[in-house]
């Protein structure tokens, strides 16, 4: 009789043990599936929240007069636009910085009052990344208006306004923000450069800090060290509160995964190991008999490890289905912003089907070796 047939018949005979092993594995896989799907959702949601918070690093020309900078909100010095690709080309830069977005900002008369004219260039992200751009991507010839400016001009979406004799289409009117964004006009970088007569120039690179260190871990000195090497003509300012919030959120998510995954794996391994020990004890006489019939150690080990692997496969399928069902049922209540993005991860099913049998067999390895090492004389001796 083939080992698979023997395993199958034994599984059916010891149904309770098999169900407990498969159930334990299914529960572990379900928990990991829920953790994985919700972690992805939490990460997505966090990313959305962080994107809404905006950039947390400002890279400005080194010679900036800081008093004027804080009084005006922008640097009085400029850098060439090619500073961005030069910075991005630095090896390992995206470990520290990301979403490098060139901007040019200056006061500009609009409707008889000064507004903040802000030109936004395209963000540069790390190679191979698929991140959504932060901020706005504004087509040439279009403007986004802050609420105060729009009210002053009486502008509405799709209406036209004139800036320094050039016509622009109002693409969006931004909601009141309670910040200086309410007196801003956003345009494409090239349009702002043309309006200010500063072609090819920028006065700031906005960015995101990827170190994700909290304030007490002193991220600023590391950021400055990296920038000093890559771009000595610039300096970096960190919006501490935003960076700190981002870092804490990220570290919390990492701690959650670091706690949950090993905990589930350890619990699962102990459960399978315990049940396999019980199964081995229950089958002492049978093991002795197989020895008496001349079965080898590898044939005996195959019976126990093969059984564990088969149950692992079953547990993977059941656990994936259960975990996905739970995540899809309750996830949208938790992650309301990105609820629609919660969906089954079929790659996870593949990994579960591949790794769970291996995990189950490894967990059953020690008890299986106990079975193999068992002295058949102990269980076969009658007197």
Degrees (nearest 5) of the Cα angle 167, 190, 192? 65
Q: Does 4 bind other proteins (CB under 8 A)?
A: no
Q: How far is the CB of 316 from other proteins (least distance, A)?
A: 24
CA atoms within 13 A on the CB side of 197: 2
Residues sharing a CB contact under 8 Å with residue 100, sequence separation 6 or more, in sequence order: 59, 84, 87, 88, 123, 124, 125, 205, 206, 207
Q: Does 13 bind other proteins (CB under 8 A)?
A: yes
Q: Whose Cβ is closer to other proteins: residue 15's or residue 340's?
A: 15
Whole-number Å distance between alpha carbons of 304 and 327: 33
Q: Whose Cβ is closer to other proteins: residue 15's or residue 130's?
A: 15
Q: Whose Cβ is closer to other proteins: residue 279's or residue 324's?
A: 279
Q: How far is the CB of 362 from other proteins (least distance, A)?
A: 24
Q: Whose Cβ is closer to other proteins: residue 353's or residue 369's?
A: 369
Handedness of CA 106, 110, 114, 116 (dihedral sign): negative
Question: Where does residue 63 fall: left (phi above 0), alpha (psi -120 to 50 degrees), or beta otherwise?
Answer: alpha
Stretch near other proteins under the rule CB under 8 A, chosen from 52-60, 139-147, 225-233, 285-293? 285-293
| Binder of other proteins out of 70, 179, 294, 336 (CB under 8 A) | 294
Q: Does 347 bind other proteins (CB under 8 A)?
A: no
Rg (CA), the chain: 31
**Where do the H-state alpha helices sit in 231-296?**
240-282, 284-292
| Binder of other proteins out of 2, 167, 179, 221 (CB under 8 A) | 2
Stretch near other proteins under the rule CB under 8 A, chosen from 32-40, 66-74, 126-134, 293-301? 293-301
Per-residue contact string for residues 307-346; x = within reach of other proteins by CB under 8 A? ----------------------------------------
Cα separations (Å) of 68 from 57, 65, 203, 204?
18, 5, 13, 14
Q: Does 280 bind other proteins (CB under 8 A)?
A: no
| Binder of other proteins out of 92, 293, 333, 336 (CB under 8 A) | 293
Whole-number Å distance between alpha carbons of 313 and 319: 10
Q: Whose Cβ is closer to other proteins: residue 289's or residue 318's?
A: 289
CA atoms within 13 A on the CB side of 200: 2
Q: How far is the CB of 292 from other proteins (least distance, A)?
A: 5
Per-residue contact string for residues 97-126; x = within reach of other proteins by CB under 8 A? ------------------------------
Whole-number Å distance between alpha carbons of 308 and 218: 49
Cα separations (Å) of 248 from 212, 216, 238, 253?
7, 11, 15, 9
Whole-number Å distance between alpha carbons of 115 and 192: 13
Q: Does 286 bind other proteins (CB under 8 A)?
A: yes
| Binder of other proteins out of 89, 122, 366, 377 (CB under 8 A) | 377
Per-residue contact string for residues 228-267; x = within reach of other proteins by CB under 8 A? ----------------------------------------
Stretch near other proteins under the rule CB under 8 A, chosen from 3-11, 42-50, 147-155, 219-227? 3-11
Cα separations (Å) of 330 from 49, 260, 271, 326?
20, 18, 27, 6
Other beta carbons within 10 Å of 78: 20
| Binder of other proteins out of 151, 215, 289, 370 (CB under 8 A) | 289
Q: How far is the CB of 360 from other proteins (least distance, A)?
A: 20
Q: Whose Cβ is closer to other proteins: residue 72's or residue 299's?
A: 299
Whole-number Å distance between alpha carbons of 311 and 275: 12
Whole-number Å distance between alpha carbons of 167 and 269: 69
| Binder of other proteins out of 4, 9, 122, 245 (CB under 8 A) | 9
Applying CB under 8 A, the residues found at the interface with other proteins are: 1-2, 6, 9-10, 12-14, 285-286, 288-289, 291-297, 376-377, 380-383
């Amino acid at each position: 009789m083939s080992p698979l047939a023997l395993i199958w018949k034994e599984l059916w005979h010891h149904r309770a043990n098999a169900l407990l092993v498969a159930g334990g594995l299914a529960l572990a896989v379900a928990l990991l599936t829920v953790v994985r799907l919700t972690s992805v959702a939490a990460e997505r949601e966090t990313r959305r929240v962080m994107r809404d918070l905006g950039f947390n690093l400002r890279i400005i020309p080194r010679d900036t007069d800081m008093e004027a900078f804080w009084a005006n909100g922008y640097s009085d010095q400029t850098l060439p636009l090619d500073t961005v690709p030069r910075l991005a080309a630095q090896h390992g830069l995206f470990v520290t910085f990301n979403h490098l977005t060139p901007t040019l900002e200056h006061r500009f008369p609009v409707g008889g009052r000064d507004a903040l004219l802000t030109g936004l260039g395209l963000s540069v992200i790390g190679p191979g990344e698929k991140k959504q751009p932060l901020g706005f991507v504004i087509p040439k010839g279009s403007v986004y208006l802050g609420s105060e400016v729009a009210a002053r001009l009486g502008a509405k979406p799709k209406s036209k306004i004139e800036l320094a004799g050039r016509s622009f289409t109002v693409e969006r009117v931004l909601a009141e923000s309670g910040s200086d964004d309410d007196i801003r006009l956003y345009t494409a970088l090239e349009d702002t450069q043309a309006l200010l007569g500063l072609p090819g120039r920028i006065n700031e690179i906005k960015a995101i800090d990827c170190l994700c260190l909290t304030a007490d871990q002193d991220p600023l000195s590391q950021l400055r060290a990296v920038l000093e090497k890559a771009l000595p003509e610039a300096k970096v300012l960190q919006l501490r509160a935003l960076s700190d919030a981002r870092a804490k959120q990220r570290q919390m998510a990492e701690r959650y995964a670091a706690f949950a995954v090993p905990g589930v794996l350890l619990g699962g391994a102990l459960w399978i190991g315990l049940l396999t020990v019980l199964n081995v004890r229950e089958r002492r006489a049978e093991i002795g008999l197989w020895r008496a019939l001349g079965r080898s150690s590898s044939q005996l080990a195959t019976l126990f490890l093969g059984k564990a692997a088969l149950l692992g496969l079953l547990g993977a399928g059941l656990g994936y289905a259960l975990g996905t069902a739970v995540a899809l049922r309750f996830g949208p209540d938790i992650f309301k912003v990105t609820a629609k993005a919660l969906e089954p991860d079929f790659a996870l099913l593949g990994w579960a089907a591949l790794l769970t049998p291996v995990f189950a067999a490894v967990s059953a390895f020690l008890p299986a070796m106990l079975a193999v090492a068992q002295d058949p004389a102990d269980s076969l001796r009658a007197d």
